[in-house]
Amino acid sequence: MTRPVRFIGISGSLRAGSTNTALLRAVRSLVPEGVEFSIADIGSLPLFNSDLEADGPVPAVQSFKQQLRESDALVIASPEYNYSIPGVLKNALDWASRGKDSPLQNKPVAIMGATPGMMGTVRMQMHLRQVFLFNNMRPVNKPEVFVAQAPSKFDAEGRLTDERTAETIRQQMQALSDLARQ
């Protein structure tokens, strides 16, 4: 029997009512058969400071890196702040990139983003791809998931209600599963 493919998701927003975290919750039901999906919490990671490593591994960082190491692929759902990557997400990726044993190296990754605006996190996703390049990550290029006017695509409980968005996520998760199985 083949073991399931393991995806781990991280949200670029720590806000309780985040539509990006809601996107990750929706992913749980949209992954292909044979894929397990969990969400990592990056809210407890300290701000990156290499001095913190002087006394040995930082426990929260080690735990996060282990979650990434145990996954076959990464799913990032993030808002766009000031036309770019939110600090909390960049901080998590900076910590994960540290060391010769970085769990980001060659990691398949998919990006999605939700925003109340019309651009659907396009600029953030382009900046994130630069980080992927440095870490030799393998992004899913198509389909792209840009959720513009996000409040109209979720109900009051934060459940994704837009079938077109759900179908695009299904397609992206299938592409990520295919990439992870290569």
Query: Residue 36's domain is classified under what CATH number?
Result: 3.40.50.360
pLDDT value, residue 1: 54
Say how many C-beta atoms besides its own lie within 10 A of residue 151's C-beta: 9
Say how many C-beta atoms besides its own lie within 10 A of residue 29's C-beta: 12
Tell me which DSSP letter residue 53 carries.
G
Domain count, the chain: 1
User: How far apart, in whole angstroms, are the C-alpha atoms of residue 74 and residue 5?
Assistant: 11
pLDDT value, residue 57: 87
Q: Where in the sequence is the domain holding 37, given as residue range(s)?
A: 5-181
Q: Coil, strand or helix: which one is 11?
A: strand
pLDDT tens string, the chain, 182 residues long: the values are 588 999 999 999 999 999 999 999 999 999 999 999 999 999 999 999 999 988 888 999 999 999 999 999 999 999 999 999 999 999 999 999 998 889 999 999 999 999 998 887 999 999 999 999 999 999 999 999 999 999 999 999 999 999 999 999 999 999 999 999 99
pLDDT value, residue 120: 78
